[in-house]
Structure 1
Amino acid sequence: MNSEPSNVVKFYNGEQIPLELHKVRVVQKLHLVPVERRLEAAREAGFNTFQLSTNDVYLDMLTDSGVNAMSDNQIAAMFRADDAYAGSQSFDRLKQAVRDVFGKEYLLPAHQGRACENIIARTFVKPGDVVPMNYHFTTTHAHIDLNGGKIEELVADEAVNPISTNPFKGNLDPAKLRDCIARHGADKIPFVRMEASTNLIGGQPFSIANMREIRGICDEFGIMLVLDASLIGENAYFIKMREDEFKDSSCADILKTMCGLADLVYFSARKVSSSRGGGICTNDRSIAKKMEHLVPLFEGFLTYGGISVREIEAMAVGLYETTDLTVISQSPSFIEYFIGQMVDMGIPCVTPAGGLGAHIDAGRFLPHIPQEDYPAGALAAAF
């Protein structure tokens, strides 16, 4: 296998530039309103970009979550959706995709990744529990708190340093995990959570070597290992590019290796397959049974989980597309190129480039604004 993604071209002067290896076939109208209206809209929104209407926004870079275009094969698959309430063939196809891509037998559907977190936290977290993780996501933190638990973030100290050359800033620190278990006791730790491409520190990945070490510690103390696979495609890409053991491995093999190390995997399709929905999957029937009754209560029947069957069909195709190096290399390769260009211009950025977006370091950009006054929000509003 070639360890380089196919979308990078090299010029005679040594410069490498990524190319878009897809066509855009649908056109959507944008709005470019006068600067006076944009300033007025910002004031109306309280300078909170989440409160802006897209009528007042020309280029929307608020998030990559569920706003990306679906592939032609995903859209085509939506036309064969089986609208049955129970026993839908669409759900059977999604289950098969989960088996093939993640290597997991049992699937519980949910309408979003945060809905998966609700079910997992309600099932396994009780008052006084502690959930160690490489880094939190906001909804993960909230669901654990709501069920009486608390989180401990156990990344290496360098992970929260915006300027770094560490290729795996998302690694969970094994020594900190052992210390956490020693302080709280294994019986107070329902599971250890690893987030593939840690969202809130810039989409930074963990290595399989690190996940194997964490798996060993979990086995030693009888603790379940949970994988948040919402950005697993990007994490797989970085493993292929940065971890020597896997430079000649296929993305499909890397994905199965990661998921195979986890007792339970959950994901948001808004991230992992450019559609809507989510799911919890495992090979342990007893783990699935503990959560199963919560799906009809909060999501929908066990064969649709609050997701339209058309989206279920798109999810299935999107999971398969996650195994394609050309597909998963698009975002991180452009982010890496963009970060490189900005750093050369002296713009303060989070490095190394991650898999979620090109992140400007607002704290260094606006050093006179304290963190509690939201320098990133201020910078976005100013732009």
Structure 2
Amino acid sequence: MTKYYAEPFKIKMVEPIKMLTREERIEKIRNAHYNVFYLDSDDVYIDLLTDSGTGAMSANQWAGVMVGDEAYSGSRSYKNLMASAKDIFGYEYFQPVHQGRAAEKVVMPIFLHEGKVAISNMHFDTTRAHVELAGARAIDCVIPEALDTVNYHPFKGNMDIERLKKLIEEYGPENVGMIIITVTNNSAGGQPVSMDNIKKTSEIAKSYNIPVCIDAARYAENAYFIKNREDGYSDKSIKDIAREMFSYADLFTMSAKKDAIINMGGLVGVKNDPELFEVVKARTIPYEGFVSYGGLSGRDIEAMAIGLQEGTDFDYLKYRIGQMEYLAEKLDEAGIAYQSPVGGHAVFLDAKKLLPHIPYYEFPAQALAIELYIEAGIRSCDIGSYMMGNDPDTGEQIESEFEFTRLAVPRRVYTQSHLDVIVEALKAIKERKDTLKGYRITWEPEVLRHFTAKLEPLK
């Protein structure tokens, strides 16, 4: 029998949600130009679009909101955040910003410009965008095992070490602006990166004098996987594992809207380079605001200080990732393919396997996301060729190595019954999968098109 880990909390406040009729949902997605980002949240029954900023804050966090210090400079909440971050990451310097992409906007142009490349186990969408906006090129270097969605590998998010060396030699060490380690590896299916792989990546980077940056959005979930899957870490705390992870990097960017369980906020961490931190501060002030608030209200900073600590709680992480494991086991029973083993924050459905008749340029993962909304009012999103966009040099549609429809589960929001609804909807779609059609884009912006592009179904 499939195991569900009971919530390590009790529910004190509820928010009503409603289910539209099938006919209403068809009309809503048509009016949204078949782009789930255009849907109103009131028209969504179960919202799995993202786990970013959509979690439920705790009683302690809401209490912190009420005592947040809104001083423009040197606030008490800022000091609390600095102490909380140092306790977890072990770094010397931290800069709050309003979210993860703001951290990337501050950091990327320091290291990247035209003629440079950034190499990552996999760039996520905003990271790739900021690399390219800086004039550089983003190169993905994940292990080949990640491409096999069926067979088990404990750390499918790992950097391909041998290929990393070849890429550095191919482009020239002087042209590699930075190496980015994304934990967990979102684009590969929320897959973790092992401590051994982080260490080896760091050693290679240092041998070429290339800085290492961790994309730390889901660092606590990654630490949980290390504790449970990697030899030598079962007796270590999540914080101890996190400190070791970050010791192998020079800096990090972080969307705190994930593992810090807040609705808005981000962080830049610099290990022990005061000169680099001065540049970070100088870039923050014109873009985000003064260094002690970085585009955030004091109440958000206070909630982040508390949420960083709560996100490292082992019982919470066991329940959190247990939800993904429960959903995955139900999909196994239904014969529905996903990136296996399941990731930390989401289940990544393998739309390429479910809808093999839809080619990448007709966006099978987007087609599945649209059908999931029509079937049960569930909003998910494409992590595939539709999200990848066009090659910045040729303008041609990029073929993604994955065609994932991501079911990103918000933290502390949905129950076992909601997960069961998702499974039943997917089983119904599987029964008629051969009738599903692809889509074409009728309008798209130049950057991050999946947020605002407009589509229509192919006849």
TM-score by length of 1: 0.94
Q: What is aligned with 1:206?
A: 193
Q: What is aligned with 2:63?
A: 76
Amino acid in the other structure paired with 1:37:
E
Residues in 1 aligned to 2:240 and 2:340: alpha-carbon distance in whole angstroms = 27
Q: What is aligned with 1:48?
A: 35
Q: CA deviation at 1:17?
A: 3.2
Matches within 5 A, 1:354-365: 354-365=343-354
Q: What is aligned with 1:248?
A: 235
Aligned pair count reads: 370
> Any idea what the Cα deviations from partners look like across 1:259-278, whole Å, max 9, x if unmatched?
11111012111112111110
Matches within 5 A, 1:196-345: 196-275=183-262, 276-283=264-271, 284-345=273-334
Q: What is aligned with 1:379?
A: 368
Q: CA deviation at 1:375?
A: 1.2
Residue number among 7, 10, 20 corresponding to 2:7 in the alignment: 20
What RMSD, in angstroms, separates the aligned Cα atoms of the two structures? Answer: 1.3
State whether residues 125 and 190 of structure 1, in contact with CA within 8 Å, keep that contact through their aligned partners in structure 2: yes
Residues in 1 aligned to 2:42 and 2:309: alpha-carbon distance in whole angstroms = 35
Matches within 5 A, 1:111-190: 111-190=98-177
Residue number among 60, 73, 77 corresponding to 2:47 in the alignment: 60
Amino acid in the other structure paired with 2:112:
V
State whether residues 261 and 311 of structure 2, in contact with CA within 8 Å, keep that contact through their aligned partners in structure 1: no
Amino acid in the other structure paired with 2:317:
I
State whether residues 255 and 323 of structure 1, in contact with CA within 8 Å, keep that contact through their aligned partners in structure 2: no
Q: CA deviation at 1:378?
A: 1.2
Residues in 1 aligned to 2:170 and 2:355: alpha-carbon distance in whole angstroms = 39
Q: CA deviation at 1:330?
A: 2.2
Give the gaps of 5 or more residues in structure 2: 373-459
Q: What is aligned with 1:5?
A: none
Q: CA deviation at 1:197?
A: 0.7
Q: CA deviation at 1:164?
A: 2.4
Q: What is aligned with 1:347?
A: 336
> Any idea what the Cα deviations from partners look like across 1:75-117, whole Å, max 9, x if unmatched?
1111111111011111011011111011111111111100101
Amino acid in the other structure paired with 1:277:
G
Residues in 2 aligned to 1:327 and 1:378: alpha-carbon distance in whole angstroms = 34
Does the residue aligned with 2:213 lie in a helix, a strand or coil?
strand
Residues in 2 aligned to 1:349 and 1:133: alpha-carbon distance in whole angstroms = 23
Amino acid in the other structure paired with 2:22:
V
Does the residue aligned with 1:201 lie in a helix, a strand or coil?
coil
Does the residue aligned with 1:245 lie in a helix, a strand or coil?
coil
Does the residue aligned with 2:56 lie in a helix, a strand or coil?
coil
Does the residue aligned with 1:192 lie in a helix, a strand or coil?
strand
Residues in 1 aligned to 2:225 and 2:118: alpha-carbon distance in whole angstroms = 26
State whether residues 211 and 261 of structure 1, in contact with CA within 8 Å, keep that contact through their aligned partners in structure 2: yes
Residues in 2 aligned to 1:136 and 1:95: alpha-carbon distance in whole angstroms = 27
Residues in 2 aligned to 1:133 and 1:52: alpha-carbon distance in whole angstroms = 32
Q: CA deviation at 1:365?
A: 1.3
Identity of aligned residues (%): 38
Amino acid in the other structure paired with 2:55:
N
State whether residues 168 and 206 of structure 1, in contact with CA within 8 Å, keep that contact through their aligned partners in structure 2: yes
Amino acid in the other structure paired with 1:298:
Y
Q: What is aligned with 1:95?
A: 82
Residues in 1 aligned to 2:319 and 2:283: alpha-carbon distance in whole angstroms = 37
> Any idea what the Cα deviations from partners look like across 1:124-177, whole Å, max 9, x if unmatched?
112100111100111111111111111111111121222220110111111111
Q: CA deviation at 1:290?
A: 2.1
Q: CA deviation at 1:34?
A: 2.0
Moved over 3 A (4+): none
State whether residues 98 and 105 of structure 1, in contact with CA within 8 Å, keep that contact through their aligned partners in structure 2: no
Residues in 2 aligned to 1:339 and 1:182: alpha-carbon distance in whole angstroms = 40
Residues in 2 aligned to 1:124 and 1:144: alpha-carbon distance in whole angstroms = 10
Residues in 2 aligned to 1:343 and 1:256: alpha-carbon distance in whole angstroms = 35
Matches within 5 A, 1:2-17: 16-17=3-4
Q: What is aligned with 2:26?
A: 39
Residues in 2 aligned to 1:160 and 1:278: alpha-carbon distance in whole angstroms = 30
Residues in 1 aligned to 2:340 and 2:153: alpha-carbon distance in whole angstroms = 9
Does the residue aligned with 1:246 lie in a helix, a strand or coil?
coil
> Any idea what the Cα deviations from partners look like across 1:312-338, whole Å, max 9, x if unmatched?
000000111122111222221110121
Residues in 1 aligned to 2:19 and 2:180: alpha-carbon distance in whole angstroms = 43
Does the residue aligned with 2:51 lie in a helix, a strand or coil?
coil
Q: What is aligned with 1:8?
A: none
> Any idea what the Cα deviations from partners look like across 1:327-363, whole Å, max 9, x if unmatched?
2222211101211221122112211111121222111
Residues in 2 aligned to 1:371 and 1:25: alpha-carbon distance in whole angstroms = 44
Amino acid in the other structure paired with 1:177:
L
TM-score by length of 2: 0.79
Does the residue aligned with 2:48 lie in a helix, a strand or coil?
coil
Does the residue aligned with 1:193 lie in a helix, a strand or coil?
strand
Q: CA deviation at 1:55?
A: 2.1
Residues in 2 aligned to 1:330 and 1:65: alpha-carbon distance in whole angstroms = 18
State whether residues 115 and 175 of structure 2, in contact with CA within 8 Å, keep that contact through their aligned partners in structure 1: yes
State whether residues 234 and 329 of structure 1, in contact with CA within 8 Å, keep that contact through their aligned partners in structure 2: no
